[in-house]
């Protein structure tokens, strides 16, 4: 079996059992890593964690435990690691913030790369207390990366919390008015609430900031 056929099994057929057997006998750990990550993003945490542990990917293993409501094990794993990769630094910070404990602030890029994904996952899994605590820590993240208001607004919009999304996007615009994407997201939130005229105004603001911003151009054409 070639790699193309293997990836069809993983991504198209989602036959993870067969894919795992093929990886064991035909491919190296890179293929197993791919499978483990697919399982993880498909929220198959019980199966993903077995592979992550086997592959010594302990930060990811800790995430599997967290997302199965076993934060104690996640913390035990994460804080035993001497690794200084961006992901483990973020994971250790996340552990504190989701329990309303302020820890060392993560970097601009750690916030950009991991905050939005984790907030989205917590809400998807109905881990609302952790999600709320993470959002309530936003002022600490904003000092390092003011785009965090945009990330939060986008996640809340995607989960149908339009009123809250609107508030975070408004704060984001106060800080970084020149970000066309903020205005575009605000337009999407307004449309979701049937506020067409306000949405058009937001799109016009986006194009005033960046005249060639294609998502705003296209959406404005569609709703006018």
Whole-prediction pTM value? 0.88
- Secondary structure of 143-159 in HEC code, one letter for each residue: HHCCCHHHHHHHHHHHC
Q: How far is CA 25 from CA 19, 22, 88, 219, in A?
A: 10, 5, 31, 49
- Secondary structure of 54-88 in HEC code, one letter for each residue: HCCCHHHHHHHHHCCCCHHHHHHHHCCCCCCCHHH
The model's pLDDT over 130-188, given as tens digits with 9 standing for 90+, comes to 999 999 999 999 999 999 999 999 999 999 999 999 999 999 999 999 999 999 999 99
In which residue are the tokens 């990769």 written? 85
Nearest to 127 by CA among 98, 149, 93, 103: 98
Report domain extents, the chain.
146-224
Q: Which residues are CB-contacts of 43 (< 8 A; sequence separation ≥ 6)?
A: 67, 124, 125
Selected from 3.10.20.30, 1.10.3720.10, 3.40.1000.10, 1.25.40.10, the CATH number assigned to the domain covering 146-224 reads: 1.25.40.10
| 84 vs 167: CA distance, rounded Å | 35
Tokens of 48: 């993903």
**Predicted pLDDT of residue 105:** 84
- For helices 16-26 and 29-41, what crossing angle results, to 10°? 160
Average pLDDT of the residues of the chain: 90
The model's pLDDT over 30-52, given as tens digits with 9 standing for 90+, comes to 777 888 888 898 899 998 998 89
| 51 vs 28: CA distance, rounded Å | 13
- Please say whether the beta carbons of 118 and 93 come within 8 A: no
**Predicted pLDDT of residue 116:** 98
- Please say whether the beta carbons of 99 and 75 come within 8 A: no
DSSP3 helix / strand / coil % (the chain, rounded to 5): 75, 0, 25
């Amino acid at each position: 079996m070639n790699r193309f056929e293997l990836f069809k099994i993983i991504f198209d057929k989602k036959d993870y059992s067969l894919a795992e057997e093929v990886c064991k006998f035909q491919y190296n750990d890179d293929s197993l890593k791919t499978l483990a990550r697919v399982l993880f993003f498909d929220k198959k945490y019980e199966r993903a964690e077995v592979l992550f542990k086997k592959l010594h990917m302990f930060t990811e293993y800790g995430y599997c435990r967290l997302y199965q409501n076993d934060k104690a094990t996640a913390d035990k794993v994460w804080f035993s690691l001497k690794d200084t990769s961006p992901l483990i630094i973020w994971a250790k910070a996340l552990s504190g913030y989701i329990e309303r404990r302020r820890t060392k602030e993560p970097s601009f890029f750690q916030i950009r790369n991991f905050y939005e994904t984790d907030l989205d996952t917590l809400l998807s899994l109905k881990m609302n207390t952790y999600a709320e605590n993470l959002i309530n820590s936003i002022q600490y993240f904003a000092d390092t990366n003011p785009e965090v208001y945009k990330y939060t607004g986008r996640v809340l919009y995607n989960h149908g919390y339009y009123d809250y999304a609107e508030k975070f996007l408004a704060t984001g615009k106060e800080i970084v008015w020149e970000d066309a994407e903020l205005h575009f997201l605000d337009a999407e939130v307004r449309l979701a609430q049937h506020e067409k005229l306000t949405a058009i105004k937001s799109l016009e603001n986006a194009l005033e900031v960046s005249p060639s911003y294609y998502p705003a151009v296209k959406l404005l054409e569609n709703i006018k």
